[in-house]
Amino acid sequence: MKYLKQAFDFCVNEWKSYSKNIQITLLVLGFLVAGFLVFGIQILFWGLGYTDMNNMFAFGQWIIGDLGLVALGGGAFTTGFILYIFRNDKLEPLINSTVLIGFLCYLFTLVFLVFDIGQPLRAWFGYTYPNWGPGLMPQSMLTEVVWCLTFYFCVLFIELIPIPLGHRLLDRYPVIHAIGHYMHKLMWIMAAVGTFLSFFHQGSLGGGMWGVLYGKSQWFRPHFFFLAIVMATAGGTSFMILCAWLAGKVMKKEVVPMESFQSLAKVSGIMMIAYLVFNAYDVYSMATKYVPLYDRTFVDTWGGYYGIWMLVLEFLFTLGAIVILVVPKFRNTEKTMVYGVISGVMAIVMNKSITVLHGSSVPNFPWKPFVGYNPTIQEWFVFLGGLATAVLIYMWFAKYLPLFPHADKHAHGEEHHA
């Protein structure tokens, strides 16, 4: 009873230490997580009949979360590669946050996939039978996606271990300090392996899996695989900046120096240029080569709920990110830089929405009508509740673990000066 009372008192004191806005935010996140648990159990036990899935929309709303989280989480391997392989030490203050975000993105991608397959007890089919053919060659692209996702998730887990080991209560033990120190020295290997794995599943899940479906006029094109890789490196780096910047605003202190943000923002802006050029080529090739194979015009494939306005918005967000993140005058100003990374993130979100929503809505035959998707309340809570859980985990790491070494050093310096 004594320990329960101490735990209760600790929780009460922690709650009272938060501002009113944070308390409201925590209540909203807690409500979404509770709904996620309730409706998640309902779907897992009673099936996908609680979704709006059908033969045209063979994926639930959470597949947008899968594609979006994987693409935005791609900033983790990009940042790690630039830091450990290209030795851009300006990114060091960002790396812990980046690894955690990547870990959470891939964790909840796998969680959403569990719901999406409909029969979790058969989840192991993705790794083995019946998706392997003669000569141990995979018959399904999803098999390659599942293996790469799993391996990279393990890499991120290993990269995440030094963060809790760096806590002052654990770091004071010589053995734990040595383990964390040597793991940190070997991170360049994890960064290289992670980049190798990420190239495969970013391309496969983000584009290749859809681009091989020659029965769908809105998806079929061979280069979709490579477009997804460029997209992840461009938008993912913007997402890493945005999350760390928001954490600093919530914690009301400098968690990452501005030069680190600006260094990664420049990378994001340059990759956004590559993405814009590639995306323009994608639209041109679809309009002149691939869509005509189906005896249609490119414009005719845009209709229903999801018009060509989605494509226009994606290009506008991409251009906005390029202008702000490439031009030093805008990039070096905090307020405009934030607008730039938000534009970069939104460009990727729009692309994934186009892929799933618009791509699924286009009928297989020209004489059939466009269809729309109306997610059920169960899908909304699984999707939003999963994201809320990820936010709460990130907040917990930021408060109790050395997620931002720069902020900790800065705080210690202030205490020492005082």
Whether 27 maps to a domain, the answer reads: no
How many domains is the chain built from?
1
Whether 32 maps to a domain, the answer reads: no
The pLDDT value recorded for residue 134 is 66
Please give the single-letter amino acid code of residue 174. P
Whether 413 maps to a domain, the answer reads: no
Whether 203 maps to a domain, the answer reads: yes
Q: Quick one: how far is CA 334 from the chain centroid?
A: 23
Cα Rg of the chain (Å, integer): 22
The pLDDT value recorded for residue 417 is 39
pLDDT digits (tens, 9 = 90+) for 50-109: 888 888 888 777 888 888 898 999 889 899 999 988 888 899 999 999 999 999 999 998
pLDDT digits (tens, 9 = 90+) for 148-160: 888 888 888 998 9
Whether 257 maps to a domain, the answer reads: yes
Enter the tokens of residue 117: 């397959």
Q: Quick one: how far is CA 133 from the chain centroid?
A: 31
Whether 114 maps to a domain, the answer reads: yes
Helix locations, 215-356, DSSP H: 224-251, 258-285, 309-326, 328-331, 334-353
Q: Which residues of the chain, if any, have pLDDT below 50?
A: 412-418
Whether 375 maps to a domain, the answer reads: no
The pLDDT value recorded for residue 343 is 97
The pLDDT value recorded for residue 240 is 95
The pLDDT value recorded for residue 406 is 74
Whether 177 maps to a domain, the answer reads: yes
Domain membership of residue 278 as a residue range: 68-368
The pLDDT value recorded for residue 342 is 96
**Residue 242: which CATH number?**
1.20.1630.10
Enter the tokens of residue 230: 């460029």
